[in-house]
Structure 1
Amino acid sequence: MELTPDWECVTDTVMGGVSTGRIETVVIDGRSATRLTGKVSLENNGGFVQMAFDVAGHGAALDATAFSGIAFEVYGRNKAYDLRLRTDQLEKPWHSYRTDFMTKPEWQSLRIPFADITPHRTDIPFDPSRLRRIGILAIGREFEADIAVRAVRLY
């Protein structure tokens, strides 16, 4: 199932951090994509920049039980990033489900099975019938984020 992300940029400034980021539509090697760039800073207890979207719009959940995971194409600079999922069950902004992946300076297709997603700071197991939000994060260390994402879908 092809998704049509309306990406938004979120940085740690929402909690007092000083990281900076932006998203833009670009063409890399002939492929149109959404690119997240920014500077991740650990100052003021910060440490992330993120591109994210609501899968069903307006914070509603999507039933993804008919699918095994999330697939997308990614282009980066040999850096690790996080894939973060949220369901409508999670109440706190620090609750999520996550896994990490590496980028390369070439387009690659990634398939992330729901089975590889682990709960973070919550005891609630991941329930794909309640999928609400998907995010790509540069997090946890100081670095220059630069990642492009396209063709997001459920498989």
Structure 2
Amino acid sequence: MQDLNPEWEYVADTVMGGVSTGRLSHEEVAGREAARLTGEVSLDNNGGFVQMAFDVPQGADPSAHSGVVLTVYGNGATYDLRLRTTDLTRPWQSYRATFEAPAEWTEIRLPFTAFEANKTDAPFDAGALRRIGVLAYGAEMTADIAVSKIGFHE
């Protein structure tokens, strides 16, 4: 396993004219230090997401692993994990997998084979992985998800 120490960034659909609101904080959640994404996802004005994401750090080698592992605490909602590679040139392209974030610390393991290509025909190449995002997406919802650990698993 390769642990990552990401520099999370907050992004919302407001970059495209949407009206979802949220924030990213770093705080203690149920006894663990975590990055926490909270907010309200709205489908108004062609919107529909709030996200926390990071660039894969130099020196990380996702191609030597078989997937992503993250430890989450949430509100029971379903979230997206999105991967972007250097092969993707448009902001709406990604590789996506969904997971549920229960209201207890839970380890989620998502093999790279679980990710579906979205708006691209490019095959997924773990060696070209450059960005990872956790999103509340596609439905009116309250986002509340914390990530205490993320990395690549064997």
TM (normalized to structure 1)? Answer: 0.95
- TM-superposed CA distance for 1:113, in Å, is 0.4
- TM-superposed CA distance for 1:123, in Å, is 0.4
Counterpart pick for 1:151 among 136, 143, 149 = 149
Letter of the 1:11 counterpart: A
Partner of 1:40: 41
Question: Which consecutive residues of structure 1, in runs of 5 or more, have no partner in the other structure?
Answer: none
Partner of 1:6: 7
RMSD: 1.2
TM (normalized to structure 2)? Answer: 0.95
How far apart in 1 are the matches of 2:30 and 2:84?
31
Q: Which runs of 4+ in 1 moved over 4 A?
A: none
1:11-47, CA deviations, whole angstroms, 9 ceiling, x for partnerless residues? 0000000001101011122110000001100011000
- Identity, % of aligned positions: 55
Question: Which consecutive residues of structure 2, in runs of 5 or more, have no partner in the other structure?
Answer: none
- TM-superposed CA distance for 1:62, in Å, is 5.3
Does the CA-based 8 Å contact 1:56-1:62 persist in structure 2?
A: yes
Alignment of 1:1-155 (within 5 A): 1-56=2-57, 63-155=61-153
The size of the alignment, in residue pairs, is 152
Does the CA-based 8 Å contact 1:62-1:129 persist in structure 2?
A: no
